[in-house]
Amino acid sequence: MNLDNFTIKSQEAVQRASEIAKSKSHQSIEPAHILKGIIEIAENISSFIFNKLGVNVANLTAVIDSYINTFPKVSGSADSYLSAEGHTVLQNAVKISEKKGDKFVSTESILVAVLESKDKAGQILKDAGITKSDLLKVIDELRKGSKADSQTAEDTYNSLNRFAVNYNESARNGKLDPVIGRDEEIRRVLQILSRRTKNNPILIGEPGVGKTAIAEGIAHRIIN
């Protein structure tokens, strides 16, 4: 299948799927190989998506690995080929991308295609509690209106959401434990944040001294 209209990350994910299949002596590249390739190659994006969906990536990967290990092995060193199911997934990813107005097929479009497939890999995602509507919502949150209009599209998505934690959102959703103490530090940070100038406090210190607790305490006060 011609992957010229796939993003670089998508091409790398499919290549990684081929490498996984070959390393396992599997004759064909299945949707499960592709899914694992996406998780490994597009780690930041897949982690963001699965974390937002409340899916433990390590547990999901273990289930995928267990399924992959059930595939029959073949002898010889011939390259693995794309199975009919794998081909269908990539073709559907193209259609999904076109529907979203993308010029290139991104890794998250392939992920949607895997979920929609009748293959066991799609069922694994469904068993993890992932629905198409929820997945599309998280992808929209990731993209923030961006389109896959270049082969490096994934690099342009909302980096802040991918690499940072929104403590305000966590506090609003009751996901943060109450913060005991630290009132003086929290008050001082809020005072600095309220300034018109020089309003960028920095929390420094050894691991375990309570920097995160201060940030969580600030989030609680903002929400309350």
Q: Are 152 and 187 contained in the same domain?
A: no
Shared domain check, 124 and 77: yes
pLDDT of residue 95: 97
Domain that holds residue 207: 167-223
Q: Within this chain, do residues 172 and 156 fall inside the same structural domain, yes or no?
A: no
Task: Please check whether residues 140 and 191 belong to one and the same domain.
Answer: no
Name the domain boundary from 162, 191, 215: 162
- The mean pLDDT of 124-144, rounded to a whole number, is 95
Residue-wise pLDDT tens digits, 79-121? 789 999 999 999 999 999 999 999 999 999 999 999 999 999 9
* Predicted confidence (pLDDT) at residue 76 exceeds the cutoff of 80: no
Q: Indicate whether 2 belongs to any domain.
A: no
pLDDT of residue 114: 98
The percent of residues in the chain predicted with pLDDT above 70, rounded, is 97
Query: Both 145 and 191 in a single domain?
Result: no
Query: Does residue 3 fall inside a structural domain?
Result: no
139-165 mean pLDDT: 82
Q: Quick: pLDDT tens for 157-209.
A: 866 666 777 888 788 878 888 888 889 999 999 999 999 898 899 999 999 99
Query: Which H helix or E strand runs over 29?
Result: strand 28-29
Name the domain boundary from 162, 186, 206: 162
Number of domains in the chain: 2
Averaged pLDDT for residues 150-157? 87
The pLDDT score that the predictor gives to residue 158 is 62
Shared-domain flag, residues 141 and 174? no
Say whether both 183 and 217 belong to one domain.
yes
The last residue of one of the domains, among 133, 162, 191, is 162
CA gap 32, 112 in Å, rounded? 13
Q: Is residue 21 part of a domain?
A: yes
pLDDT band at residue 43 using 50, 70 and 90 as cut-offs: confident
Tell whether 90 is covered by a domain.
yes
Determine the 3-state secondary structure of 42 from DSSP. coil
Strand partners, 29: 82
CA gap 165, 132 in Å, rounded: 24
Residues 145 and 218 in one domain: no
Write the DSSP symbol of residue 154: G
| pLDDT number for residue 188 | 94
Q: Which helix (H) or strand (E) holds 82?
A: strand 81-82
Q: What is the mean pLDDT of residues 10-24?
A: 96
| Domain assignment of residue 75, yes or no | yes
> Which pLDDT value is given to residue 23?
94
What value does the mean pLDDT of the chain take? 92
Q: How many helices (H) and strands (E) does the chain have?
A: 12, 2
* Whole-Å CA distances, 5 to 94, 99, 153, 158, 186: 9, 15, 12, 22, 50
CATH of the domain at 157: 1.10.1780.10
One domain for residues 135 and 52? yes
